[in-house]
Each structure stands twice: as C-alpha cells, then as structure tokens.
Structure 1
Amino acid sequence: MKSNGKLMLNFVSDSASVYVKARRLLTQASESGITLTGACLAHQSNLLVKDLMAISRVWNIVEQVVTIASFIRRSVALRSSISRYMGREKIPMWLPSETRWYSFSETLKHVINVQTAIQVVFVQEASKPHLNTASACTVRTIINEKQFWEDTKAIYGLLKPYYVITAISELDNTSAGLILSGWMWLKLELKKTTALNADEKSLVLSKMQRRTENYVEHHHLLAWVLDPRVRGCGLNKTGKRLVRDLAKKLFSKIEPNCTDGSAFNLIKHWLDYDHKEGIFDAESSIWAPCLTSRPALFWMDLADDSPELSKLARAVLSCVPHAASCERLWSCAAATATKSRNRLTNKS
C-alpha cells in the first residue's frame, strides 16, 4: 500500500523469532517507508488456551470429558439411546485435537448438552451389557459427580471466547481489533470464573499480560479502536488516550508534511468517532450494519468528511492480523500430498 509515495509494508508470522528479524530487516531495507509487522494473533490465541490447559485441574476435567465423549462415540447403542431420549436423529460428539484448540470447546459443549440424557440412560439401561464394562463404570462414576458438571460448565465458559476468536479468524474482513476484543472477553471470564483458584487465575492472567506486552503492536491497538465493529470496546479512558497518541505518531509518518490543521482535524474527528458526535452522530446512516460490517467501506464512505482519520484507519485496518489462512492452506496441501501419494501431479 502507498501513501504520499511512502510504501507501507505489512508482515505477519506465527514465529516470534522470525517476525522480530523480519521487522529489523524490513525497517532497514525500507527507510523511506512504513513497516507494520506483528506476530500471528490467531497463533497467540491458540497459546492462550494452551496456557489454560496447562493447569492440572483444568486438564483433569478435560480428560474426564474426553473419556465420556470417546465412550459415547464408541458405543453405538448408547449413542442411539441418548439420541432417542433427546428426540434427535443423531447427536454431535467431537473429540478434541491439540492442533485445533477450539475443538476442546466443542467437545465440552457436546458433553454438557447430553448431561441429563446420559444420566437417565445409564439408570434406565443399567443392566445392558454395553453399560457394564470397565469403561462404562468409569463413565458412570464421572457423570454422577455433581462437582464434575459444575467444573465442566465453568471451563466451557472460559473457552467460549476463544471459540469466537477462532470464528473471527475465519472472516475475510477480520482485524486485530476483533481478535483483541475477544482477548478482553477472555480476560473478564478468567477474572470471574469459579473453575480456577486465585493462584491459578493469577498465573494465567500474568501469561496473558506477557503475551500482550510482547506480541501486541501499536497498529493492533489502533485497529482495536478504528474497527467500527468494536470501537475500542474494553479499553478504559487511559487506554484510549494512549491509542490516540499512537494515532498521532503514525499519522505523522504517513503524512510527514501534514499541517497543524490536519493534525487538529485528526484529533477532533477521533473524539467525535469515539463519542458518536458530529459527522459520527449515533443517528447517522454511517452506522448501518452494511457499512460497519465492512470497515473498509465504512471509512471509504468518510474519506471526504474526515480525510485524515479515514486515511489512517484504512492504512491500519488493511494489515492482516494473522497467518491462519496460510496455515489452513498448508494443512490442506499436507492432507493431499502425503508420503503415500507423493507422485501427484497437477493433472492427477
């Protein structure tokens, strides 16, 4: 992207060491340009869940949930009985994968959904052979513990924000702002959860804070405010002032010859946008979902009314916040070109 002849470069990687080196090299190679680099926020979101799963009490509950899910998947008779009790043709039951942390949330949700059904079926069909195996006895012990279900629901509450973050990463027009607002939701859930004790909460929150300090860049914070879908949701007044100062610094790089009048307009329109006043009035048609759902269109529509803020927003929101699309492409390629199919050609 070019702005006033300045080349804007955006580089993102899920390898911390790679993006640090890339930032240094790109900055040196493009002295006349602007380099916006960053870690893959989708990958860092994965690691946030991994930090949560590293807590032994959480992992123990997850293992018990997986035990139940595995037993239901293996036992056709049990699955059929649960489906009949719930009045469904069939019930979904995922098994999680450590390479796809969102699958843990789905597994917990599926097991929670069949709580009543599986407890009733285990009582009604207690004499049947498939419910009198060693595995069935283990599952019976787990599902009859009230504390297990309370902990499972509490942990699922913690994982819901991450599931949303994963869905956000799939969007064509996602932004760092959407992902960071998901992080803020996860942080709030961590603070109020009953699934962790005070020390465990402190440990996970401190790891989240370190990831934020190490991997969230200034342009990520700007995207958090300038994405009209979130508008800095979760940031306090001090945080918004800090981001506003970052906006002034980046705009001075994008427009090195900007006048005092342009700088004043930038701040004035920034405040109007934050408070939904002036040209950003809350009753204005610019807040129609058809525009706010597409940030590029939203700010393009305001190019004449607020040229300074519009240019800054479009520059920041054009940055890709993650490498998830590349990772998905490589996963699909790896599933196609395997060791047993290493003679594939473009035609075959």
Structure 2
Amino acid sequence: MSDNIIPEKLKTGGRPKKPIWRFFEQGDEVDKGHYIATCLACNQTFRPGKTAIMEKHIINNCSKVDHSVREAVKYMVEMREESSNFTSTKRKGSQVEKDQTTLANFYENSELGGERKGVIDVALIKAFVCCGLPWHLIDHPFFIELLRQLRPNYNLPDRKTLINTLLTEEILRVSVKCYKLLDKEDYLTLVLDDIGAQKFAGIVTDAGSNVHAARNLLSEKFPHILNIRCIAHSLNLITKDLMKHAFAKRIIQWYMVIVTYFKKSHRPKELLDLKIQEKRILGGGLKTYLDTRWTMVHEMLDSISRLEICLKEIVNENPNVIASEAVKTIINRKRGFFNDVCDLANIMKPIKEAILNLESNKATLADCYFFLAYLGQSINKIPEDDHVAFRQHAIKTFNEHFKLYNFDEYLLTYYIHPRYRGTGVKKSKTIYRRIQGAAARIWQQMLKIPDIAAYLKEYKHSKKESAEVLLMQLGEFHLKTIPYNSPYNSNVSTPLNWWKMCIPIPPYLQLLAIKLFSIIPHAANCEQIWSICGWMIGKRRTRLSVDNLEAMSKIHSYYITNIKPELPNYGKDQTAEEIRTNLNNSFRNIEDDEIDEYDEEEMAEIVACPFTDNSEQSLSQQLEILNVLDLDLMFRNNPVANKQLDDDELDNFI
C-alpha cells in the first residue's frame, strides 16, 4: 500500500519567483539567490536577472516579444503600482487610529519607514534627471553632507544603485504611465507594427538625410502614409540662412557687444534694471542669443528695440560708469543701428509667429501654406531702396525652402480648410488640376485600406466612380453647397472636428479631409527630446550609455509634461504654467552665466571693422509663391495684415 503513495514534493526555501520569470529562462546561479535570465523571445541574457531590468526589457526594448506578453507585463507593473499606492493611502487614512509609533517617521532622528524612503528615492532620481546632475555627485562629500543635514537617517544610495536600480525602476513606472496615457490619445508615436499601419495618416520628420531615407522607405512600404517634412524645423533653417547675410551678421555682432557688457558688468546691469522699472517697460531685459531656441532671434532684436531709450539715457547720464567705448559707439554713434534692428525684427517677427502657431498640436498642413504666405508677404514688403541685397537674399532663401512645401498635398489641404477655403489661390486651370490630382492620388492609396474600400461596396461604386464622386464633392465644397456651408469658428472647433460633423453622402471627401487634417505637420516634440539629450550629455558626460540616456530623456519628458502632479509640494499654490515659467527662468539664469566675459579690445575690434557685404549677389527674382497665391488679396488689403495673427484675429483675417 505504501508503495502506491506518491511522495510529496519537498518544498524549497526562499522567496517564490516573480511572475516576470514566466517569460525568461532561468540559468546558473551567479550570486546567492540571483540567477542568469535569458529572454525567451530574443535570447538576450541578463547577469543576474533582476525584476525591474527584465520588466523594462519586455516593455521597452524587446522587438521580438509577442504583443500580448508586453501587455501582460505592463498590466503586472500597473497593478503593483496601484497596490502600493492603495496601501500607502490606507495607512495615511488610518494613522489616527494606530499607535503613535507611526509618528516616529516624522521625527528627524527616527528610523525612516520603507515607504518614506521610497518617496525620497523617487524625488532624488527626479532631481538628478531633470536638473542634469552628473551621477558622480551622489558620492561627493559635500552633497552627502547636505542630505544628511536635511534627513540624518536617510541612507543615500551609492552611484551603482542610483543608476542600475533607481533609474531602472523609475523608467519602468514612467513607461507604464505613458502607455496608459497613450491609450486615451488620438495621435500616437509608438511602434508602427504594434498599432497597425492603417491607423497612420503621415510620417513627419526633419530634413536630415537619415530620417529622410526612413520616410522614403516607409512611404514605399505603406503608400497611404504621407511623407511630410517638419515645418517648424524648416522655418528655423530659414532663420539661420537669413542670419548668414552680412547685414544680419553685423547687427547680431553689435547686439552681442551690448548684451555681453550689460550681462557681465554689475553696475551697468543694475542701472539698466532700474531704468526698466522706472519707465515701466514690460518684457524684461536684454535676451541672450541661443542657436537652439528657434524664436530667440526675434525676441533678442525686440528686446534691444524696446530698450533703445533706456540704453541711450544710461550711456548719456553715466559716462563714467559706462566705461566701454565700443558700447558707447554702437548706442550713440552708429547711425541707423536701432533702425536696422527694427527692420530685421520686423522680418523675424512672422517667422516667430509662424513657429509658435505651427508647433501647436492643432496645426495642420493648411496652416503651413498660410503662414508661408504670411512670411512671403513680410519679405515682399522689405524696402527695396534700403536693403536691396538683403531683400534679394531673403527672397532667394524663401524660394529654396518653399519648394519643399509647394506640394499638392499642402495646397489641397489649404483648399479644403473650412476657414481658408483656398482664399488667395489664383484662378487657374493648372492650379485647380493640381488640387484635383492630389485628391485623386491620395484617394487611390486610401482605397487600399479595407475599412475605406468597404464604402465602395456599400455604395456600389468602382474605384474610378468613387474618384469621380470625390472630385464632384470637391467642387461642391468650393461652391459652399449643403452640407459644406456650415460656419466655422476656430475658437470652438478644429478643421478635423468640422469635417467629422460634415457628413456628405457618400463620405468620400469627408474621409479624405479627416486623413489630411489628422496630420500634425511638425516634429517639435522629437526636436525637444534631441535637445534634451544634448543638454544631458553636455561637454563632460561622454560615457553616458545609450540605454541610460534614453531612460533619462523619457523620464524628463514625462515629468515636464506632467509637472504639477510631479511637484506636489513646490506646485501646491501654482498653476502648471507658472511652474513651467519658473523652470524656464531658472535655465535662462544658467544661460546668462555661460556668456563669455567682456573683452573691450575684442569688442572694439568688432565695432571698428568696416561693413563689407561679401554675400553672393543674387539676380533679381520674385517670390515663387506668387505663382500660386495672390498675396495682395490675402493680406495687403486687409486691415488686420500688420497685426499679430492670434486666433481671434485670424477669423477676421480671411
């Protein structure tokens, strides 16, 4: 009888395996209780296999893991975080009922509770990432002394723990939070295969050769995905090209003489600040010139233009304090300096306004066309007698970049925008054929999507018949017949929402419009991330690994986007916008500190250098946008033309 009894399996000691091990093969033991882990999907090995690192690999890095496995791991992390938050909240809610021993965590010399230490650990990694602090600071004696003065019983992690444990755990938490947020968004920037190629309307990148090649590869593989250049990046390139002209270079050089002197000289800076307060001039002091801030050129020129009276009064009233002859020469003796600053600022203003408007998540391909027209009109208004060479240089620069956006897709979107409705488009059979051709080509590619092709079966149309109906609807839109005659107000609606409410039968033009207006024509968020990465690496952190740099940029972007909830103590009585303003101001102070010291001999040499225009002389040419749009009809005869183009004025502008 005893022979038939199956012996019970002996229980092994130690903690049970974490659920993440279901997706990894356990290898040899490398340390007590720690084993080699090999991913079952991609065979990548981790020595040893730590839970946070394995979960991060499945969620963020493994390209071969099944989508259902990734979702399962995200769910596990999410549930663990919710359980941790629930336990913390429950304990806080019941602390009155418990013994007073829990209050010991609030006393300076008491032992820290595990939850409290975890909160401080998270705050610590936030500070290191968002302040750009080098990892080795964690081992610096004075930094350790500071934290021990603040909290004597907080055991500061070492450098290895900070990087390998705290950073990994935080990127894991942030990744799960981001996935939850993206589930609720309309526009996603995740892996193409995970979402489905049919959900993508276009791909937007800057002008780099590598990303341009990537755009072409995607367009060839998925013809229905439109290939779009980042408009904000192109406007920045226009700014840089304009600044290459000798006229603009001279103004920037003289400006830097003034700003360097007043930023680096204590008493003159104090006098300027007092004069600004006395005259109640808004907008602050002189701005520092930065290549990476795309709107900075206009802000810089505008700042010195606003402070012209202040600067002249300071120089004339305090000749013994303002010791720089170079500064005195520019402010008082350089004939026309402030007039030239004003002229250049007027050219840069529409570029700044265009960048700010087109970096919005509500920007469309139609807005690209409109603001390029606005910029073209400002260049067209440069006085021919005062700055002949610079005017031709500006026209040449504009034409070179306009070629990249004079595509039929942009023109079509401008034509079917419910506010613009093609205003200013020249009445030409050639141009209208371009618009019709673009609509037909895009529609032909859209028919390869099963959900779109299903409408042809419903209305019993062939591909050719559906295209003919589409072009007929395009004409009806131009004539404002029903249902295309609904009013449009940008304060309460968007072009995308307007078209969703406009339901023609069959809905061919509606489907085309929804596709075009779903595209946000900029990659500003990507550009910001690249800037963040460059700032994090700086000049010294050349050994920062790619994985850690990626993790830090993700954490930084998430914290800045959700800045108020992530700073519960600092932001208690402030709005998110106020916190961001304070954050930006803190970085501006850092930028001011990085200005080179003022060298009078060097600055005097710059001022004394005669102005020579070595720029290549361009043949007289006209703006190429005039072949498509009548800028006089759009702008010159409109009283709003010389005002800032904010949302309220735009409705009256067209």
* TM norm. shorter chain > 0.5: yes
Which of residues 475, 489, 495 in structure 2 aligns to 1:288? Answer: 489
CA distance in 1, matches of 2:200, 2:273: 58
Does the 8 A contact of 1:178 with 1:230 survive in 2? Answer: no
CA distance in 1, matches of 2:503, 2:372: 30
1:314 pairs with 2:504: no
Give the direction of change, closer, same or farther, for the CA distance of 1:328–1:240 in structure 2 (3 Å limit).
farther
Equivalenced residues, count:
336
Aligned residue in 2 for 1:55: 245
Map 1:188-337; keep pairs closer than 5 Å: 188-194=377-383, 197-214=387-404, 216-238=406-428, 239=431, 241-255=433-447, 258=461, 262-274=466-478, 276-281=480-485, 284=486, 286-292=487-493, 294-304=494-504, 307-336=507-536
CA distance in 2, matches of 1:160, 1:45: 12
1:87 pairs with 2:280: yes
Per mean C-alpha deviation after superposition, the further-off stretch among 185-194 and 87-96 is: 87-96
Query: What code does the residue aligned with 1:273 have?
Result: F
Q: Deviations over 1:23-64 (max 9, x none)?
A: 44234433xx41311222221111111121111112212322
Give the direction of change, closer, same or farther, for the CA distance of 1:175–1:117 in structure 2 (3 Å limit).
same
Per mean C-alpha deviation after superposition, the further-off stretch among 337-346 and 180-189 is: 337-346
Aligned-residue offset at 1:187? 1.1
Q: Deviations over 1:88-138 (max 9, x none)?
A: 588332112122231010011111111223223333x134x3223334323
Does the 8 A contact of 2:206 with 2:212 survive in 1? Answer: no
Aligned residue in 1 for 2:365: 176
Structure 2: unaligned runs, 5 residues or longer: 1-186, 188-196, 449-455, 557-654
Does the 8 A contact of 1:96 with 1:107 survive in 2? Answer: yes
Structure 1: unaligned runs, 5 residues or longer: none
Aligned residue in 1 for 2:569: none
Aligned-residue offset at 1:232? 3.6
CA distance in 1, matches of 2:269, 2:205: 44
CA distance in 2, matches of 1:139, 1:252: 61
CA distance in 1, matches of 2:252, 2:417: 35
Aligned-residue offset at 1:290? 4.3
Give the match's secondary structure for 2:289.
Answer: coil
Aligned residue in 2 for 1:71: 261
Relative to the length of structure 1, the TM-score reads 0.81
Aligned-residue offset at 1:178? 1.4
Give the match's secondary structure for 1:172.
Answer: coil
Query: What code does the residue aligned with 2:347 have?
Result: L
Which of residues 4, 7, 17 in structure 1 aligns to 2:209? Answer: 17
Give the direction of change, closer, same or farther, for the CA distance of 1:255–1:290 in structure 2 (3 Å limit).
farther
Does the 8 A contact of 1:19 with 1:39 survive in 2? Answer: no
Give the direction of change, closer, same or farther, for the CA distance of 1:229–1:78 in structure 2 (3 Å limit).
farther
Q: Deviations over 1:109-168 (max 9, x none)?
A: 111111223223333x134x32233343234335x63x2222211111111111012212
Give the direction of change, closer, same or farther, for the CA distance of 1:232–1:46 in structure 2 (3 Å limit).
farther
Give the match's secondary structure for 1:280.
Answer: coil
Does the 8 A contact of 2:408 with 2:434 survive in 1? Answer: no
Give the direction of change, closer, same or farther, for the CA distance of 1:275–1:206 in structure 2 (3 Å limit).
farther
CA distance in 2, matches of 1:89, 1:319: 37
Over alpha carbons, which structure has the higher Rg? Answer: 2
Give the match's secondary structure for 2:247.
Answer: helix
Does the 8 A contact of 1:71 with 1:135 survive in 2? Answer: no
Q: Deviations over 1:62-104 (max 9, x none)?
A: 3223333333434323312421341258833211212223101
CA distance in 1, matches of 2:259, 2:423: 36
Highest RCO, 1 vs 2 (Cα 8 Å, sep ≥ 6): 1
CA RMSD of aligned residues (A): 3.4
Give the direction of change, closer, same or farther, for the CA distance of 1:290–1:83 in structure 2 (3 Å limit).
closer
Does the 8 A contact of 2:416 with 2:513 survive in 1? Answer: yes
Give the match's secondary structure for 2:305.
Answer: helix
Give the direction of change, closer, same or farther, for the CA distance of 1:240–1:209 in structure 2 (3 Å limit).
farther
Q: Deviations over 1:176-234 (max 9, x none)?
A: 22133222111111111128644443333233223222455432333333333544455
Query: What code does the residue aligned with 1:150 have?
Result: N
